[in-house]
Amino acid sequence: MSPSTIIPPAFLLNLRLGSGPEPYVLSCSMVGETCGFSGIVRRFRTKEALIADLNTVGIVSERYSPALLVIDAGECQSFDITLNEAQKLSVILTDTTE
């Protein structure tokens, strides 16, 4: 038997348009070694509020603009983010009991 390879975690920020009073939805997907991480869903009333949070975290518009162009048409889009960005956006919970 060969030893297993542990893949470091990678994080994707998912954007989509839902329904209701807060239709803009952010969530975080994780791939690789995800033990100790849980994704959290956040909702926003307006696209402007969503953009303000992305800018506050330091995510530049070049990274999120392509996603924003298609979510109003009903498509979901994702892009890579760092663990630090995910934590600042409050879309990930990190188990700190270790």
Q: How many domains does the chain have?
A: 1
- Torsion angle of alpha carbons 7, 55, 69, 41, nearest 10°? 60
Residue 14 pLDDT: 96
5 within some domain:
no
3 within some domain:
no
74 within some domain:
yes
Residue 81 pLDDT: 95
Class of residue 19 by CB neighbours under 10 A (exposed 0-12, middle 13-18, buried 19+): exposed
Residue 21 pLDDT: 95
In contact, 25 and 2? CB cutoff 8 Å: no
58 within some domain:
yes
4 within some domain:
no
pLDDT at 1 over 50: no
Give dist(CA 90, CA 42) in Å, integer: 8
Residue 12 pLDDT: 94
26 within some domain:
yes
Give dist(CA 83, CA 10) in Å, integer: 8
* pLDDT tens track for 14-37: 999 999 999 999 999 988 887 888
Domain extent for 66: 10-94
* pLDDT tens track for 39-81: 899 999 999 999 999 999 999 999 999 999 999 888 999 999 9
39 within some domain:
yes
2 within some domain:
no
Give dist(CA 39, CA 94) in Å, integer: 9
Confidence category of residue 97, pLDDT binned at 50, 70, 90: low
